[in-house]
Chain A
Amino acid sequence: GESVGLHLPTLSVQEGDNSIINCAYSNSASDYFIWYKQESGKGPQFIIDIRSNMDKRQGQRVTVLLNKTVKHLSLQIAATQPGDSAVYFCAEADSSYKLIFGSGTRLLVRP
Chain B
Amino acid sequence: EPEVTQTPSHQVTQMGQEVILRCVPISNHLYFYWYRQILGQKVEFLVSFYNNEISEKSEIFDDQFSVERPDGSNFTLKIRSTKLEDSAMYFCASTQGLGEKLFFGSGTQLSVL
Name A residues whose Cβ lies closer than 8 Å to a Cβ of B: 32, 34, 36, 41-46, 49, 51, 89, 91, 96-104
B43 touches A46 (CB 8 A): no
Name B residues whose Cβ lies closer than 8 Å to a Cβ of A: 4, 6, 31, 35, 41-45, 48, 55-56, 91, 93, 98-99, 101-107
Inter-chain contact count A-B, CB under 8 Å? 48
Interchain CA distance A36-B48 in the complex, whole Å: 19
Interchain CA distance A34-B91 in the complex, whole Å: 17
A44-B104 contact in complex given A96-B56, A97-B98, C-beta closer than 8 Å? yes
Contacts of A89 in B (CB 8 A): 42-43
Q: How far is the CB of A46 from chain B (nearest CB, A)?
A: 5
A32 contact from B44, B91, B99, B107, Cβ within 8 A: B99
